[in-house]
Amino acid sequence: MKQIKAFIHPHRINSVTEALRDSGLCDISNGSGCYNLTVSNVQRLITSVDPSQQRYSLDLAEPVVAEAKLELICEDDLADQLAALIAQAGKPGPGWIFTTDIQSATKIG
């Protein structure tokens, strides 16, 4: 199994989740293809090229840029296809996709 993490512009996250559903590679409701799809709102501590994209975080005392972090678990053979699909649906806009191997997973319950 692999874990995919993607950091995407918040305005593009809907396009990405829609593309995952429409692809047939990731049946989120059935738990086949990919599992544990989550989306979180995060703040990146690096300033944006476009100053209108950043704001000042009082909690962090730093300028930040809002991003959406998408995480999912998938079978090894789907990782490259899902990463490419996320990259395509996340355009235009800056972002990163990380794919890592899961060495061990234990289901709770």
- Using a cut of 0.75, tell me whether the model's pTM lies above it: yes
What's the domain count of the chain? 1
Q: Is residue 37 part of a domain?
A: yes
When pLDDT is cut at 50, 70 and 90, the band that residue 72 belongs to is very high
Q: Is residue 40 part of a domain?
A: yes
CB 1 within 8 A of CB 106: no
Q: Is residue 7 part of a domain?
A: yes
CATH of the domain at 70: 3.30.70.120
Q: Is residue 91 part of a domain?
A: yes
- Give the pLDDT confidence score for residue 87 in this predicted structure: 94
Q: Is residue 33 part of a domain?
A: yes
Whether the bond between 63 and the residue before it is cis, its omega within 30 degrees of 0, is: no
State which residues form the domain around 97.
2-101
Q: Is residue 96 part of a domain?
A: yes
